[in-house]
Structures are given as structure tokens and as C-alpha cells.
């Protein structure tokens, strides 16, 4: 969102890695994941098709970098949602809604993030260490009143993550339009689903409405 892509072009670019990632994200937003070829990225950045190979060993490695940015931004979005609420149940619902909204607002990026994971058969390590997943677990932990075992905490986090990701994908399939209208908009719909999950029932302090 910052670097320019076409001006003097003095053979040595300066920061081509950065420019390539930006170019990739621009293509992603403009033309979708299907148009994201390495050659197209190079074209967009104004360099030859072989240039990227001096900065990424692979197309996969470039996509990895793009995905990495995506995870960081998702992390930030969840942080913000978490900070905005204190009440335990609401906080969890808000984090869930924030997750799904991120996926809805950045569909191409979200897809790249998970496509990379599908290709590797693994989510990024960063997730477990200090990323968005950790964000969710901490929030559950902080609201569990100390009654939760380590295992229960982990299970609740997994359940929440799976529900969030599953819902994010279903939303992108545009499956639930009639229901959304019935419930008065998408966010109301999301809240209703998360409420319905009865999520965290075993772990969170029970002060149900």
C-alpha cells in the first residue's frame, strides 16, 4: 500500500522483495487468486519473469510471505476486537465476529493464507507462538475464572478456531443470504450462529442472559 511500482527503474530496484509482495497483494485484490501468477507479479512490479527468483526460491515462498502478512493483520484485527469488550461471553463472540469479518473483507488474502497451509499440511508456527490463535486462547483463559484445565482450554480454543474458520468459508460461499436478511444483517447473523454454538460452555463463566 506504500511502494510505487513504475518510475525510474534503475536496474537495481532497491527493495524488490517488498515491491513483489505489494504487487502480489494488488493483483489479489484486483483480479483474485486465480490471476496470481509469478509472471503477473513480476509484470506488475515492472521486472523480468526471472527477477523474483533472487528474492524468493519459489512461487510458494512468495505466497508464504503474502500469507505471513495476512496472519499478522488478522492478529491485529482480533486484538482490537478483544480490547473493545470486557464481558466474557461478549468478548468471545466479538472475537469470532471479527475473525469472520476479516475473512469477508479480505477474501483473496484469506484464501491465500489457508491455501498455503493446505499445500504444506500445516498452519504457520507463528500462530501457536504469539499469533491470532494464541490471542483466542488467552481470551478464553482470562475469562475462565481459573476453573479450566490446560486441556479444556486448548480444546475450547480449537473449537472456537474451527467454528470461526468454518463460518468464514461458508459466508464466502454466500450460502445464508435469506437467513441474514431475516435476522437483520450479516453481523446479527454471525452473532446468532456463535451464540448457537453454545461455545465455551464448559470453560467460560456462566452468566447467560
Partner DNA sequence: ACACCAATCTAAACGCCGTCAAGATGGTCT
Partner DNA sequence: AGACCATCTTGACGGCGTTTAGATTGGTGT
Q: Least separation, in Å, of the C-beta of 173 and DNA?
A: 22
Which residues, 6+ apart, have CB-to-CB distance to 80 below 8 Å?
98
Burial 114-132, CB ≥16 within 10 A → b, else e: bebeeeeeebbeebeeebb
DSSP class of 7: S
Contact present, 26 and 33 (Cβ < 8 Å): no
Contact present, 194 and 170 (Cβ < 8 Å): no
Q: Which residues, 27 to 66, sit near DNA by CB under 7 A?
A: 37-40, 47-51, 53-55, 57-60
Q: 146 is in the binding site of which of DNA, a second copy, none (Cβ under 5 to 8 A by kind)? A: none
Q: 76 is in the binding site of which of DNA, a second copy, none (Cβ under 5 to 8 A by kind)? A: none
Q: Least separation, in Å, of the C-beta of 40 and DNA?
A: 5
Q: Least separation, in Å, of the C-beta of 170 and a second copy?
A: 6
Nearer to DNA, 49 or 145 (CB): 49
> Which residues form the interface with DNA (CB under 7 A)?
10-14, 16, 37-40, 47-51, 53-55, 57-60
Amino acid at each position: 500500500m506504500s511502494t510505487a511500482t513504475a518510475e525510474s527503474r534503475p536496474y537495481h530496484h532497491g527493495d524488490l522483495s517488498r515491491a513483489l509482495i505489494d504487487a502480489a497483494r494488488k493483483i489479489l485484490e484486483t483480479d483474485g487468486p486465480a490471476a496470481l501468477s509469478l509472471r503477473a507479479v513480476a509484470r506488475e512490479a515492472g521486472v523480468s519473469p526471472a527477477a523474483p527468483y533472487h528474492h524468493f526460491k519459489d512461487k510458494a515462498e512468495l505466497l508464504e510471505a503474502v500469507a505471513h502478512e495476512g496472519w499478522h493483520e488478522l492478529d491485529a484485527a482480533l486484538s482490537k476486537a478483544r480490547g473493545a469488550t470486557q464481558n466474557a461471553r461478549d468478548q468471545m463472540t466479538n472475537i469470532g465476529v471479527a475473525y469472520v469479518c476479516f475473512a469477508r473483507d479480505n477474501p483473496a488474502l484469506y484464501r491465500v493464507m489457508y491455501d498455503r497451509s493446505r499445500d504444506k499440511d500445516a498452519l504457520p508456527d507463528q500462530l501457536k507462538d504469539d499469533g491470532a490463535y494464541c490471542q483466542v486462547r488467552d481470551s478464553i483463559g482470562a475469562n475462565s475464572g481459573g476453573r479450566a484445565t490446560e486441556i479444556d482450554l486448548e480444546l475450547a480454543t480449537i473449537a472456537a478456531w474451527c467454528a470461526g474458520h468454518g463460518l468464514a468459508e461458508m459466508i464466502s460461499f454466500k450460502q445464508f443470504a435469506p437467513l441474514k436478511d431475516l435476522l437483520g444483517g450479516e453481523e446479527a447473523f454471525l452473532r446468532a450462529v456463535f451464540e448457537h454454538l453454545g461455545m465455551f460452555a464448559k470453560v467460560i463463566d456462566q452468566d447467560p442472559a
